[in-house]
Structure 1
Amino acid sequence: MRYADQVAGIPWETIEAVRRRLKEKPALHFIAGEFSPSESGETFPSLDPATNEVLGVAARGGEKEVDKAARAAHEAFPKWSRTKAKERKRYLLKIAELIEKHADELAVMECLDAGQVLRIVRAQVARAAENFAFYAEYAEHAMEDRTFPVDRDWLYYTVRVPAGPVGIITPWNAPLMLSTWRIAPALAFGNTVVLKPAEWSPFTATKLAEILKEADLPPGVFNLVQGFGEEAGAALVAHPLVPLLTLTGETETGKIVMRNAADHLKRLSPELGGKSPALVFADADLERALDAVVFQIFSFNGERCTASSRLLVEEKIFEDFVGKVAERARAIRVGHPLDPETEVGPLIHPEHLQRVLGYVEAGKREGARLLVGGERAKTSFRGEDLSQGNYLKPTLFVGENHMKIAQEEIFGPVLVAIPFRDEEEALKKANDTKYGLAAYVFTRDLERAHRLALELEAGMVYLNSHNVRHLPTPFGGVKQSGDRREGGTYALDFYTDLKTIALPLRPPTCPSSGRKGGSPWQGPERSTSRP
């Protein structure tokens, strides 16, 4: 249904053109600079989350396609890794420019494929372009490291060198932004790439490959294999020519990948699940906290790894604050993601909708008090029929921290509110989870804010704010949310190898074992703190 002549500044004619493309043009593999179907000719459908009708089809890749892509990346690596940094920078800036050029098409494609509200997806596409522009600047300078002169005798220095082909496995919630977040540093630092996107949202990956081809990126530097996780994804994890793997996904998937990658001693960067707490104290700016809490869980359809899905509120304001959250949740506009006034769209897939509804039922069984939602949305805020799509009303429970809905990642618009007495109990409840990705603290007491920031078991802590990403700062979690950091120069630890080079500035004294007339080696002549 047409809602306006344009949505988020995109003409309706562009939206219809993207729909036609998805129907008529399969999402193909991209290997060694060429697009291709699967050798078997098999495809798989991708559904429109708003209606569950087939949006289009994608090539179904497996071991053969992954092997071709891995070999192409392996063969391209020596030349690309030796390409001058200034030239790699030019490629990345060109890619950023082309993403901006094709931004409308990319945004509409991802909106239709992933069910995310179009105005939010537009911001994600801008982030994708920013990822390449940002790391373009790092290409020339990030490989520099340190020198270690030792008196006037030795010069030690360290350099960073590209590590090799990188396998990138991406999720379905923000496929373009989260894939470019890994592709950009990989290419900037001289690595080649094999991308395996999520099968529930395959289309923007093929469009991105078209953009990289338009940028004249050398063949084999970037490769794409479409397909299912248990087929193409598993083959990529196991391939011996791909020594580095990045994964954004749920924790259980991460455990499987880590076990399989261990057989090949692969370097792995997992960004996994979260059950992030938001701690709201009575002295906080409660309007700011309210805005942040509601946005952080209900925007992006709740399908956000850093969502503050546990709301911990001080007892003295608990009923009043949670009541206001309930008012906001009831008023959230659920509708088609192309409607310019929609705030929450459909979940990605009917299987995921059933999974989230299963958590709602689990909450009821455990005795949590359901305040808002908890059921499928059958009509939009405009009165339109939504019954064929994967729509869920924003949901709010009052519960306890031990409950399943408070301990497991739901990945949907479901929030559980939990009271606490004091700072000590707030910290205990916040840390009582297997996850540790993000945490949010709302208080005017800055000493308390900093105390909690130090004690919260999370890779990222936001004080009096929702999650605002800053690319130079490290992103990642602790515990079962992952153990790596990416962003800015922190990405170097994953995408490059650190090499030490030693040069004696005068001939070093060296033992002469085995030489006629030489004295046998008696052990080190110097302290171990010196060469």
Structure 2
Amino acid sequence: MSKYNVERVPHYIGGKFVEGTSGKLFQNMNPATNETLNEVAEGEAEDIHLAVQAARQAFDEGPWRTMGVAKRLEYIVRIADLIEANAEELSYLESLDTGLPISQTKKQAARAAENFRFYAEMVKSRMVGEAYQVDSSFINYTIHKPVGVAGLITPWNAPFMLATWKVAPALATGNTCVLKPAEWSPLTANKLAQIVHEAGLPPGVFNVVHGFGETAGAALVAHPDVQLISFTGETKTGSEIIKNGADTLKRCSMELGGKSPAIVFADADLERALDAVVWGIYSFNGERCTANSRLFVQEKIYDQFVDALKERVANIIVGDPMDPATEVGPLIHRKHWEHVTSYIALAQAEGAEVISGIVPAECSTGNYIAPTLLLNCTNRMRVVQEEIFGPVLAVIPFKEETEVLQMANDVKYGLAAYVWTNDMKRGHRLAQGIESGMVWINSQNVRDLRIPFGGAKASGIGREGGHYSFEFYTETQVIHVAIGEHPIPQFGKKKEERTGIVAK
């Protein structure tokens, strides 16, 4: 047993680690063995209410909102320092909890720390207003103010990094927050609470309530004292959140599902494209919203590229997520394993050729699915249209640019896309024609914190990242200042008393 194992995960409310009001617990399972890892406090509406009350009081009466920016950002940087100091534990807990290979989770702590440092810098340098002068009569200017209590609902894939992606801008801009992490991955959210506690943030500024989406998540969305809901997860749940938050006019940011295309033309650097495609779908166990789960290959190179894909898939190392050599580990939960395997069975029923790697015998008790290729696909198959969210790649041939653009857009999602060609005019044309929030040309999914992140169509609403997060996490207020004399309508004055100017 590791020194980092956790027996019980409590809530973190008002600066204290507390059990749930109902006393209920739920089991957190090890995806590599399907044995119980630990027990977790099951939050319900009352726990959410207590957390929101704590966050509301910290915002309305505490020092966080009124604290000097430099002082507040000292806390943000301190959190980043503590994340880096606990990087080994965080990577271990993330792999233990999710099944992600530890060679990949080791990078997540650094990225999470970077989120906090980045927003500390962004608030100092980019959270600025504008001024509009009207002759010598007025100056109008804008300021950014924190909105209030942010409800942050995070997913189970890369849970620590994606939680900090929301927590960092929410706190740096002066909001308080309640985090509801995914019930399948509570360990690093609990560790983040410990880090925030050690950083000494005022009580109630940051709160964590564990539990299920139907109870804790729904209560957070419906609570009238929560002004913001930032959600990352599946499209159906995002739609329900928007509906349930409508009565209280919540501001919502939705980063939802994806079925992102990778398009490889015959003139592309095929070795680099192969590297990127394989990494893009099979890293993170395929549980990545921006995964290139649809691959379109030009007919001239289709056989050559597919043969290379088959060889790569056969050589991907499936195994224990704690083994540094492992490239694909178990899926997060048995229910999700059933979801993905049902789509592989559907692919066979729809007429696709299914080619899978091998799951080692010693992994038989876990939620393992070998990297899988679906060949002989058409764009209308359900396995091509619907999000599978696992290590499954559907491959489709195409002839020309206009045809592949139509197929790339013929899906309800629009999160990301990848184009591989050495014809830059074509690359730009295609990128601008694809209906997605983000497109990479001749590149894998590389991250730049300055860019807006988000999707089109059923892949989301709004943009976060860079200074674009300020549009969500702050209220832009306009202040009008009269600096000279100007006429004001003088209703109710006698004619002889009217001056037509403002009194000095």
Deviation at 1:119, TM superposition (A): 1.2
Which residue of 1 is the match for residue 414 of structure 2? 436
Query: Could you tell me which of 35, 45, 54 is aligned with 2:36?
Result: 54
Deviation at 1:101, TM superposition (A): 0.6
Which residue of 1 is the match for residue 9 of structure 2? 27
Task: Give the conservation status (yes or no) of the 8 Å contact 1:163–1:495.
Answer: yes
Which residue of 2 is the match for residue 9 of structure 1? none
Query: Could you tell me which of 152, 170, 179 is aligned with 1:195?
Result: 179
Identity of aligned residues (%): 53
Cα distance between partner residues in 1 of 2:299 and 2:403: 11
Which residue of 2 is the match for residue 97 of structure 1? 81
Query: Could you tell me which of 356, 367, 391 is aligned with 2:340?
Result: 356
Which residue of 2 is the match for residue 64 of structure 1? 46
Which residue of 2 is the match for residue 4 of structure 1? none
1:477 paired to 2:455: yes
Which residue of 1 is the match for residue 138 of structure 2? 154
Which residue of 2 is the match for residue 396 of structure 1? 373
Cα distance between partner residues in 1 of 2:383 and 2:206: 40
Deviation at 1:145, TM superposition (A): 1.3
Which residue of 2 is the match for residue 36 of structure 1? 18
Deviation at 1:362, TM superposition (A): 1.1
Task: Give the conservation status (yes or no) of the 8 Å contact 2:318–2:359.
Answer: no
Deviation at 1:18, TM superposition (A): 1.5
Residues 52-451 of structure 1: matches in 2 within 5 Å?
Answer: 52-78=34-60, 79-373=63-357, 378-379=359-360, 384-398=361-375, 399-451=377-429
Cα distance between partner residues in 1 of 2:452 and 2:115: 14
What is the TM-score normalised by the length of structure 1?
Answer: 0.92
Task: Give the conservation status (yes or no) of the 8 Å contact 1:246–1:269.
Answer: yes
Consecutive unaligned residues of structure 2, counting only runs of 5 or more, are none
Cα distance between partner residues in 1 of 2:128 and 2:485: 27
Task: Give the conservation status (yes or no) of the 8 Å contact 1:513–1:519.
Answer: no
Task: Give the conservation status (yes or no) of the 8 Å contact 2:140–2:479.
Answer: yes
Amino acid at match of 1:282: A
Cα distance between partner residues in 1 of 2:118 and 2:379: 40
Consecutive unaligned residues of structure 1, counting only runs of 5 or more, are 1-14, 526-531
Cα distance between partner residues in 1 of 2:64 and 2:199: 15
1:231-278: per-residue Cα shift (whole Å, max 9, x none)? 100000000000100000000111111110112110000000000000
Amino acid at match of 1:18: Y
Question: SS of the counterpart of 2:491?
Answer: coil
Which residue of 2 is the match for residue 512 of structure 1? 490
Deviation at 1:80, TM superposition (A): 1.2
Cα distance between partner residues in 2 of 1:357 and 1:89: 46
Question: SS of the counterpart of 1:412?
Answer: coil
Cα distance between partner residues in 1 of 2:386 and 2:334: 20
Number of positions where the alignment pairs a residue of Structure 1 with one of Structure 2: 498
Deviation at 1:143, TM superposition (A): 2.9
Deviation at 1:520, TM superposition (A): 9.8
Of stretches 221-230 and 511-520 in structure 1, the one that deviates more from structure 2 is: 511-520
Question: SS of the counterpart of 1:506?
Answer: coil
1:494 paired to 2:464: no
Amino acid at match of 2:250: K
1:334-367: per-residue Cα shift (whole Å, max 9, x none)? 0000111110000000000000011111111111
Which residue of 1 is the match for residue 439 of structure 2? 461
What is the TM-score normalised by the length of structure 2?
Answer: 0.97
Cα distance between partner residues in 1 of 2:283 and 2:458: 24
Amino acid at match of 2:19: P
The structure-2 alpha-carbon separation of the partners of 1:495 and 1:521, relative to structure 1 and needing over 3 Å to count, comes to: farther
Deviation at 1:371, TM superposition (A): 2.9
Cα distance between partner residues in 2 of 1:123 and 1:168: 23
Amino acid at match of 2:425: E
Alignment root-mean-square deviation, CA: 1.5
Deviation at 1:507, TM superposition (A): 2.7
Amino acid at match of 1:178: L
Cα distance between partner residues in 1 of 2:237 and 2:304: 39
Deviation at 1:330, TM superposition (A): 1.1
Amino acid at match of 2:424: L
Cα distance between partner residues in 1 of 2:64 and 2:310: 54
Deviation at 1:52, TM superposition (A): 0.3
1:27-65: per-residue Cα shift (whole Å, max 9, x none)? 110011000000111110110000000011110001111
Deviation at 1:105, TM superposition (A): 0.7
1:108-162: per-residue Cα shift (whole Å, max 9, x none)? 0110001000010010111111111111112323331110011111101111111
Cα distance between partner residues in 1 of 2:222 and 2:42: 18
1:18 paired to 2:4: yes
Task: Give the conservation status (yes or no) of the 8 Å contact 1:511–1:521.
Answer: no
Cα distance between partner residues in 2 of 1:521 and 1:324: 85
Amino acid at match of 2:14: A
Amino acid at match of 2:367: N
Task: Give the conservation status (yes or no) of the 8 Å contact 1:511–1:520.
Answer: no
The structure-2 alpha-carbon separation of the partners of 1:413 and 1:505, relative to structure 1 and needing over 3 Å to count, comes to: same
The structure-2 alpha-carbon separation of the partners of 1:305 and 1:520, relative to structure 1 and needing over 3 Å to count, comes to: farther
Amino acid at match of 1:148: Y
Deviation at 1:372, TM superposition (A): 3.0
Cα distance between partner residues in 1 of 2:499 and 2:37: 74
The structure-2 alpha-carbon separation of the partners of 1:394 and 1:378, relative to structure 1 and needing over 3 Å to count, comes to: closer
Question: SS of the counterpart of 1:17?
Answer: coil
Task: Give the conservation status (yes or no) of the 8 Å contact 1:88–1:139.
Answer: no
